[in-house]
Amino acid sequence: GSCWRRCCPGRNNACWATGAHQARCYCDSYCERTGDCCKDYHAACRRAVMGCAVGPWGPWSGCSSLCGVGSEARSRQVTIPPHHGGEPCPDLKQRRGCLGEHPTCGRAK
């Protein structure tokens, strides 16, 4: 079977070709784990391996609590998703603790 123009990222049961003796062989990157790749998988698909790329972190949000312990969050976007078994994306969200210090906090009872 041939993977020519049939390469798929991840696990995709619809990404196959007819191999020897009419058996299915696969052209998804998961076939490397299961050992059922088409014989030209590496030549046709591995050249197109691309790891995930992400943009810069956005700004931290404001503290979730006006007075006392809360949290802040920030995120970033995927600019290029992984292709054909490339490195998966890193974390896209971060959270950290903060202390809300709104001017009215000292007056609250």
Per-residue pLDDT of the chain (109 residues), as tens digits, is 788 888 887 888 899 998 778 889 999 888 988 999 999 888 888 666 678 899 999 999 999 999 989 999 999 999 988 876 678 899 999 999 999 888 888 765 4
Domains of the chain: 1-47 (no CATH), 53-101 (2.20.100.10)
Cα distance between residue 50 and residue 38, in whole Å: 20
pLDDT of residue 42: 85
pLDDT in tens, 90-109: 999 999 999 988 888 876 54
Judge residue 109's burial from the number of C-beta atoms within 10 Å of its C-beta, 0-12 exposed, 13-18 middle, 19 or more buried: exposed
